[in-house]
Amino acid sequence: AYLSFIVSCSWVFLWEKGYQETDSVVSSVTTKVKGVTLTNTSTLGARIWDVADYVIPPQEENTVFVMTNVILTLNQSQGRCPELPDDKTECKVKNNCVPGYISTHSNGVQTGECVPYNDSIKTCEIFAWCPVEDDYHIPRPAFLQEAENFTILVKNNIWYPKFNFMKRNILPTINSTYLKNCIYDSQTDPFCPIFRLGKIVEAAGQNFQEMAVEGGVMALQINWDCNLDRAASHCVPKYSFRRLDNKDSAHTVSPGYNFRFAKYYKDRDGTESRTLVKAYGIRFDIIVFGKAGKFDVIPTMINIGSGLALFGVATVLCDIVVLYCMKKKYYYREKKYKYVEDYEL
């Protein structure tokens, strides 16, 4: 019983810090990405890509998306053109096409005409943004291969309202000179808030160039577990990384992460056109969690009372085991109880 009491008290007070009042973290996050890369293709020619091109949208809450691959459909305008060929859009004669028909995968509304898609295939004509996007072939390797060298600055402010304790991940020991030159490394620079994208993916056990082709979702986790009975300088962030979307050979349908958006233009005669962008990339979710504890009389007294109550329960349980379950229960019972005769009888 005494051993049980000592073990339970050690667990509650030393390991679980049962003498402390606790609070959960309240957090805010802002990010800033930096990096420039050059591409040279037959469609676009030589082109520089900077933050305004590949971070979409410029600001999100606790998240930043970096485009790593792209399918561009240039100079689209509204009109009539052949639909992409598949088992529902290919046709031989006009009667194969239904005017006004729209399927879930249509790029536009069928006009009822059957027109040549190329020299060997005919498809149903549609009224749509023409020419339609052809996304059957994803660029390999990724269009922005150099994105692994881009960096992201994560600024995180935390607050424990119960203790009115505030701090941020740019620690007081970090100066502007260090901040301009450091890159996070778990061994040499564990408190640098600037992360190289390739290193984040690598730390999660993934290959950046493979992930960049079809995109994905990464978690940058910041853990603030603080013992506020110690000096505030001991309350520091701990960073970890993991991939959140499913990368499994058994789940190959609709992999990665992508979305579409368009940039619209009007020429001098008022004709509207657009560039359609299908962007593949990596979304970095910054997840902040943590718990702070500080000494308080009330939880201390509650846990002491619980320990004493457990001590009483332990005594009862030990008696039950010894007196009713063990082979020598009769021997123990004789030693525990002493039977005396009633004097008056």
Domain residue limits, the chain: 1-19+296-344, 20-83+132-294
Q: Evaluate if residue 310 carries a pLDDT over 80.
A: no
Is 288 part of any known ligand binding site?
no
Interacting residues of 27 by C-beta distance below 8 A, sequence separation 6+: 156, 157, 158, 159, 222, 224, 288
pTM, two decimals, is 0.80
**pLDDT band (50, 70, 90) for residue 337:** low
Q: Is 33 annotated for ligand binding? A: yes
Q: What is the mean pLDDT of residues 134-148?
A: 92
Range with the poorest average pLDDT among 173-187, 210-224, 296-310: 296-310
| DSSP tally for the chain: helices H, then strands E | 7, 16
268 labeled binding residue: no
Mean pLDDT computed over 175-187? 94
Whose CA is closest to 210, among 282, 285, 137?
282
294 marked as part of a ligand binding site: no
Burial, 180: exposed, middle or buried (Cβ in 10 Å; 0-12, 13-18, 19+)?
Answer: exposed
Q: Which of 46-50, 84-88, 274-278 has the lowest mean pLDDT?
A: 84-88
Helix 329-336 and helix 297-324: axis angle, to 10°? 120
Residue 304 pLDDT class (50, 70, 90 cuts): low
pLDDT tier at 214, thresholds 50, 70, 90: very high
Residue 32 among known ligand-binding residues = yes
pLDDT of res. 1: 46
329 is in an annotated binding site: no
Q: Is 34 annotated as a binding residue?
A: yes
Checking if the pLDDT of 196 tops 50, the result is yes
Q: Is 98 annotated as a binding residue?
A: no
CATH superfamily of 20-83+132-294: atp-gated p2x4 ion channel domain (2.60.490.10)
